[in-house]
Each structure stands twice: as C-alpha cells, then as structure tokens.
Amino acid sequence: MSDNNPQWNPRESKCPMQRDDFDEMRNKCPVAKSDSSKWWVFKHSDIEEILEDPETFSSDVSSHLSVPNTMDPPEHTAYRELIDHYFSEEVLSSFPDDFRAISEKLVNSAVANDCTEAMGDLGLPYAARTQCAFLGWPTDLAETLVTWTLENQQAARDQDRDRLAKLAGEFESLVQSVIEQQRNSGQKPPTLTQSLIREKIDGHRLSLEELTSIFRNWTVGEVGSLAASIGIILYYLAECPHIVDHLRQADSAEMEDVLDEILRMHGPLVANRRKATRETTIRGTTIEPGDTIYINWVSANRDEEVFGDPDTFDPDGNAENNLLYGKGIHVCPGAPLARMELRIFFKELLEQVTAIELPSKQDIEYAKYPASGFARLLVCLQ
C-alpha cells in the first residue's frame, strides 16, 4: 500500500448509503489503492480520459470470456457491430406491448396491497420478465434469473470464489439448454435468441461459449442494474413529488431524459474495470502495467467540478456529461432498451398511481457493493 493513498475497501462502507462514501473519496482521495495493484478512480475527468484511451486502459480484465465486455479492438469492433443491431429502433419496436403488459400486471398487484417491497415485487421481476420477453425465453425462467442474480450478488459480496464458479456453471447449463431448445424450434418469426444463434462473425457461426457469454451479459448482467434503477427512481419520486408532476406532463423523450438525470444523481451500477497496458499516471499517481483500475460511475456522475451541486435536478444541463451508460467504445449498447423499459414501467405506474410514499425510513435497506441502490425498499402506491 503506498503512503499517499489511504486504504479503500468498497465492501466497508462507512455511511449507510455507499454513494456518500464515494462522494467523500472523490474529494479526499480521487485515485485510491484498494488492494495490491488495484486502483479506484472517482473523478469524472479522469474516468473520461480512461474511457477515451482503450489502448492504455484495456478491457481484457478477466480470464473468462465476456463478449464484448472484455474485448479490445480490433476483436471488440466486429462483435459490437453484430450486437448493436439488436438494440436498433427497428428491433426494439417489437417489444413495447409486451413490456407494457408486464408493467401493468406488476403495478396492478402492487397497488392492490397497501405497501409493496419495491425490489422483490417490482424491480427484480420487471427486469427479469422484460429480458425474457426480449430474448424470446419462456416466462417461467424469469424467476430463475432473479434467484440467480441475488445469489450471485451475495457470493460476490462474500468474495466466495467457489460459490461464484458453481453459480457460473449452473447458469451456463441453463443458457445452453435454452440455446438447444431454440436451435431446434422452427418458430416464426424467429425469437431474438434464434436470430443470434444464426449470426456469423468472420464467416463462422458464434460458438456456444460466445453465445452463452452474450446471453449472460444480456440477462443476469443487466437484471441487477435495471432492478436497482427502478428502486432508485421510486425512492426519488417518493421524496420529490413535484418531479412526479413533471413526469406526468412529459413526452417519451423528455421522460427518458428525466429518468437518466435521476439515475445520474444515484447510479444503479457502481463500477467496471480496466487493466493498464503500460506505466501511466492518473492525477500524479503512478499506475504500473497490469494494474487493475475500477471506474466508479456513481462517483463520476456526482462530481461537483462538472455538475455543481450533484443533487440539483437539471436534465437538460447535465445530460451531456452524464456517464450513466458509459462513453467511448464500450458505451452501453443496451441503453436504448434500458431507457425504453424504464420509461414504459414508470408511464404505466404513473397512470395507475396518484401518490408514491415511503412509509418509514426503517423499511429501507441500502444495497452493498457490488450492488447499488436498495436491497429492500418498502413503498406505498396509492
């Protein structure tokens, strides 16, 4: 541990809401060593520089294949071209009705109860069911995805490598059986999973390992972020009813901008990693080749030097610098899908609900790293 960098342990949050720890670190120690050869970066401008220099800050951070997350150019470029098509307007236009029906059902049952636990009853099932609908997977797999996501988050929190490896193996078997079923089904029009199975890259079909990795990223990789987003937005709307009125008047584009701004103030995804390919410096701190750098999205999006008071709601003024969905070659390809899913959910909710209230702050449990947002959030929808 170097002398000028105090120890930073993302698993030992001092404040109930870990976002407050990130705020403190950004101001006290913006480049912090967390472990041997591991660095956390908290400032918006440093993170932008990292994102814009994939040669120095490689995404090749894992021994496990992750398509395209852990790839660097030129390999990354070809896979991104293939993937980006699945998030185009043309493809996404098939899903709003399904997403609306999923939202309606969940919101109906939440409204029927006095209060509801927002993560277990709304966020997680909505995220898992919409991902199943998007991929053309059977609806009953949604529950499996939720269970898997929660168990994986727990194992990651406990840093239980054996459990993580076992869960990864179980998920691989599940995805492979879905791929086999869909490969043999002649459904018309084909599901998105079937279309991906038939894709070719450099003249060859995607391997089972590549397909499994893509589906893992599009399901469990994202169920956590999407569910966290729903909890964070519900909490914000309960605290700021005037924004609810603003949302009720908004058209689709404005609504997505408002939701992006709420998620800028409290990010649903904590961090992604990079690996230094050469010796470099960040804010005067020497980073050795092979060191791992954690990009803290939640902190970057609250940097006072860029946003002034980070809690000032200003969708128009802050949109340009909002790193909610990343920036550079790894910018989130699923952003149009995530924005659409969130917009449809909250539109449905606001149509059925006149008031969102938090019955008691004691019924709130903040999520712990690597998750963000809330682990438990009781809300009353009237």
Footprint of ligand HEM (CB under 6 A): 68-69, 80, 217-218, 222, 225-226, 229, 268-269, 272, 297, 324-326, 330, 332-334, 337-338
CB of 140 to ligand HEM, least distance (A): 20
Nearer to ligand HEM, 31 or 269 (CB): 269
Report the distance separating Cα 125 and Cα 146, nearest Å: 7
Report the distance separating Cα 46 and Cα 38, nearest Å: 16
Sign of the CA dihedral running 168, 289, 268, 374:
positive
Nearest CA-CA partner of 70 in 322, 337, 297, 292: 292
Q: Which residues contact 372 (CB under 8 A, 6 or more apart)?
A: 18, 19, 225, 228, 232, 266, 267, 268, 269, 270, 298
Nearer to ligand HEM, 6 or 267 (CB): 267
Nearer to ligand HEM, 113 or 139 (CB): 139
CB of 151 to ligand HEM, least distance (A): 20
Between vectors from CA 62 to CA 58 and to CA 63, what angle results, nearest 5°? 125
The arrangement of strands across the sheet holding 271-276 comes to: 31-35, 38-41, 292-296, 271-276, 57-58
Nearer to ligand HEM, 144 or 213 (CB): 213
What token pair was written down for 12? Answer: 């030992």
CB of 117 to ligand HEM, least distance (A): 20
Nearer to ligand HEM, 319 or 355 (CB): 319
| CA distances for 332 relative to 2, 103, 313, angstroms | 34, 23, 23
What token pair was written down for 14? Answer: 């001092």
CB of 327 to ligand HEM, least distance (A): 8
Nearer to ligand HEM, 315 or 334 (CB): 334
CB of 345 to ligand HEM, least distance (A): 11
CB of 226 to ligand HEM, least distance (A): 5
Nearer to ligand HEM, 137 or 297 (CB): 297
CB of 145 to ligand HEM, least distance (A): 12
Nearer to ligand HEM, 74 or 186 (CB): 74
Report the distance separating Cα 114 and Cα 245, nearest Å: 22
CB of 349 to ligand HEM, least distance (A): 16
Q: Which residue is nearest to ligand HEM (CB)?
A: 334
Ranges assigned E (strand) in 208-359: 271-276, 280-282, 285-287, 292-296, 356-357
Q: Which residues contact 342 (CB under 8 A, 6 or more apart)?
A: 226, 229, 230, 233, 256, 259
Ranges assigned E (strand) in 64-131: 116-117
